[in-house]
Amino acid sequence: MTDTTTDRPVDTSATGTLVTSWLAHFERALTAGDIDAATALFVDDCYWRDLVAFTWNIVTVEGAEGLRQMLGQTLDRVQPSGFGLADELGEAGGPTEAWIKFETSVGRGIGHLRLRDGKAWTLLTTLNELKGHEEPKRDRRPKGTEHGAVPNRQTWLEQRRREAEELGHVTQPYVVVVGGGQGGIALGARLRQLGVPPIIVDRNPRPGDAWRKRYKSLTLHDPVWYDHLPYIDFPPNWPVFSPKDKIADWLEMYTRVMELNYWDSTECKKASYDEAVKEWTVVVERDGVEMTLRPKQLVLATGMSGKPNLPKLQGMDVFKGEQHHSSKHPGPDAYRGKKAVVIGSNNSAHDICAALWEVGADVTMVQRSSTHVARSDSLMELGLGSLYSESAVASGMTTWKADLTFASIPYRILHTFQIPVYNAIRERDADFYARLEKSGFMLDYGEDDSGLFMKYLRRGSGYYIDVGASELVAKGDIKLESGVDVVRLTENAVVLSNGKTLPADLVVYATGYGSMNGWAADLISREVAAKVGKCWGLGSDTAKDPGPWEGELRNMWKPTQQEALWFHGGNLHQSRHYSSYLALQLKARMEGIPTPVYGLQRVHHLS
């Protein structure tokens, strides 16, 4: 991702005048209920992205008609007011951009505005806090002790213990979060701060185990500045790329110090929603004992890359070697000197191939379709540098501001911001790409050359962030079979569509993951999974992301067709940022604040 606007000269007074004037007109129109006047303040090809502030949804509306419809259904209730510059966020990119603040009938918001020819081109509105339910932080932080004399005082420890003992037994959580990875943990922290302490259930014995159990060479592919959790930043000595066991330890300590009610060794077996009582029945097995929870809201935070796709290949039953999905791959140590075939050519496939090669395995990658590759250094510098880097931090770019800046670009036009970045990367790394293609590796840069992050948003797959494996492919150290498919397995080999037979002691299926609503099918029912439909993807009408255009990621962090069912996930950046909006939606419902949803996700695809 990038922020192409930071190079322009800044003229604060001009920003002030131009934007303030626009905001005054905008507020006057909204206050008067004059939707036409409000719409007339936008250019024709305008975008208004709203994160929960106006719509109780995550929605981008486009053009005059989109604005008119949205305002028509929300304006009376929202009663927006108090528009002004958000000084706490400092300056935006130039005279036609600004950080703004505003209020609604129930909350306070932060937004971002881009003007073109004096009219609004892009507008972002986000709900920042609910009035009367502000988080107890900074000057609202708890005192920690009640001064004075308090007969039969309970200590912090006694209160925490009592809460933990009673929750799920004497008292019911308002929310159950299934899945205690980074997503569930970040959301759990935000909910606790809002006074909506959930129970987070996770099948593993310890927080962080979802990372610990992955292949041993795994490190985060995103750099540290992109990965902070809410409330506690990684320290300044934290590695750029977190090793998996180190991030696992961080998640474990975070769970503890943020006082999360985290039920480890707990498997969610079954969930069903009672539409009449408006309550979930969630059956879990905790340390082997089955029990039932009755929350009002259920969040599946089982990972947008959570449910493995295992291909059904002829001969899998007769293959006598070891075979597993990449998510179950333990790392290379047991395969020293063995013959390994890795099916797939995305991140996991590359990581696993490289680690196997490093211990001296004979390893072949089977590339079935083209892959986008971007070198880590180039991506960090050209893709993330302006928002998430040491130099961004040094120039005053906070994580919050970076997240909001990124969120301010509507998905519809995000590719136009991305294409120049990847063109620059292609130029910079031309020799590298030439070497790689010479080996037979099928490269792409996304269908519209918009690169890695758009692929991630559209399909969650199809790329490798190169940290070294591509050179091994280019040199032939990792053997490559490309443009082929697997026909079948024999007792000791993989047979390819080009007629070759690859002897194999190990087959790794680095074949990706299914849509998150697959979890809903498993836990709730096929009917609910179908009712909710596919998760993730934008409807870009590119490979694995069929149209129509949705405007936002399907079903993520927002209301779904199944009342009281929510999906949470994504990378650490997304978990951090969007957990804020999901938490506010849940808090509002708990407090009985009306939350009429504008533009509820419609279902165009089942998975």
Sites for its own copies among residues 297-326 (CB under 8 A): none
Q: Phi and psi of 221, rounded to 5°? A: -90, -10
* Shortest spacing between CB 331 and its own copies, in angstroms: 8
- Quickly tell me which residue has 């072949």 as its tokens: 364
Identify the residue among 3, 62, 97, 135 touching its own copies (CB under 8 A). 135
- Tokens read off for 364: 């072949």
Say whether residue 132 binds its own copies (CB under 8 A): no
The residue type of 545 is D
- Tokens read off for 33: 């209920």
- Point out which span in 49-57, 137-145, 276-284, 581-589 binds its own copies (CB under 8 A): 137-145
* Shortest spacing between CB 58 and its own copies, in angstroms: 25
- The CA-atom distances, in angstroms, between 348 and each of 72, 151, 469, 512 are 47, 58, 11, 9
Q: Inter-axis angle of helices 430-438 and 411-428, to 10 degrees?
A: 80
Identify the residue among 129, 358, 444, 447 touching its own copies (CB under 8 A). 358
Say whether residue 139 binds its own copies (CB under 8 A): yes
Identify the residue among 8, 153, 162, 320 touching its own copies (CB under 8 A). 153
Sites for its own copies among residues 174-213 (CB under 8 A): 193
Say whether residue 348 binds its own copies (CB under 8 A): no
Please check whether residue 105 is in contact with residue 77, taking contact to mean a CB–CB distance below 8 angstroms. yes
Sites for its own copies among residues 384-423 (CB under 8 A): 390-391, 393-394
Cβ nearer to its own copies, comparing 58 with 89 = 89
- Point out which span in 10-18, 154-162, 418-426, 516-524 binds its own copies (CB under 8 A): 154-162
Distance CA 596, CA 593 (A): 10
Say if strands 97-103 and 107-116 run parallel, antiparallel, or are unpaired.
antiparallel
Say whether residue 47 binds its own copies (CB under 8 A): no
Sites for its own copies among residues 466-505 (CB under 8 A): 467-469, 471-472, 477
Say whether residue 224 binds its own copies (CB under 8 A): yes
Sheet holding 339-343, edge to edge: 322-325, 506-509, 339-343, 362-367, 479-482
- Tokens read off for 412: 């519809």
Say whether residue 134 binds its own copies (CB under 8 A): no
Cβ nearer to its own copies, comparing 71 with 248 = 248
- Point out which span in 130-138, 318-326, 456-464, 511-519 binds its own copies (CB under 8 A): 130-138
Say whether residue 147 binds its own copies (CB under 8 A): yes
- Tokens read off for 18: 């131009």
Identify the residue among 199, 355, 523, 584 touching its own copies (CB under 8 A). 355
Identify the residue among 13, 44, 132, 151 touching its own copies (CB under 8 A). 151
**Residue 132, CB-side half-sphere exposure with 13 Å CA sphere:** 8
Cα-Cα-Cα-Cα dihedral sign, residues 78, 82, 84, 87: negative
Cβ nearer to its own copies, comparing 9 with 235 = 235
Identify the residue among 14, 32, 40, 253 touching its own copies (CB under 8 A). 253
Identify the residue among 87, 117, 155, 317 touching its own copies (CB under 8 A). 155
* Shortest spacing between CB 162 and its own copies, in angstroms: 13
Say whether residue 246 binds its own copies (CB under 8 A): yes
What DSSP character marks residue 382?
A: I
Say whether residue 575 binds its own copies (CB under 8 A): no
* Shortest spacing between CB 137 and its own copies, in angstroms: 4
Torsion-angle region of residue 125: left (phi > 0), alpha (psi -120 to 50) or beta? beta
Cβ nearer to its own copies, comparing 357 with 536 = 357
Please check whether residue 415 is in contact with residue 450, taking contact to mean a CB–CB distance below 8 angstroms. yes
- Tokens read off for 231: 């409330």
Element (H, E) at 204: none
First to last CA, the chain: 27
Say whether residue 170 binds its own copies (CB under 8 A): no
Please check whether residue 196 is in contact with residue 587, taking contact to mean a CB–CB distance below 8 angstroms. yes
Say whether residue 164 binds its own copies (CB under 8 A): no
* Shortest spacing between CB 419 and its own copies, in angstroms: 26
- Taking 3-state DSSP, the helix, strand and coil percentages for the chain, each rounded to the nearest 5, stand at 35, 25, 40
* Shortest spacing between CB 160 and its own copies, in angstroms: 8
Cβ nearer to its own copies, comparing 242 with 326 = 242
Say whether residue 431 binds its own copies (CB under 8 A): no
Cβ nearer to its own copies, comparing 80 with 230 = 230
Say whether residue 257 binds its own copies (CB under 8 A): yes
Cβ nearer to its own copies, comparing 27 with 381 = 381
- Contacts by 467-472, CB closer than 8 A, 24 or more apart: 467/219, 467/221, 467/241, 467/351, 467/376, 468/354, 469/350, 469/351, 469/353, 469/354, 470/350, 470/373, 470/375, 470/432, 470/436, 470/441, 471/435, 472/353, 472/354, 472/357
Binding site for its own copies (CB under 8 A): 135-139, 141-145, 147-153, 155-158, 160, 193, 216-217, 219-220, 224, 231-233, 235-243, 245-246, 249-250, 252-254, 256-258, 331, 354-355, 357-360, 376-377, 390-391, 393-394, 467-469, 471-472, 477
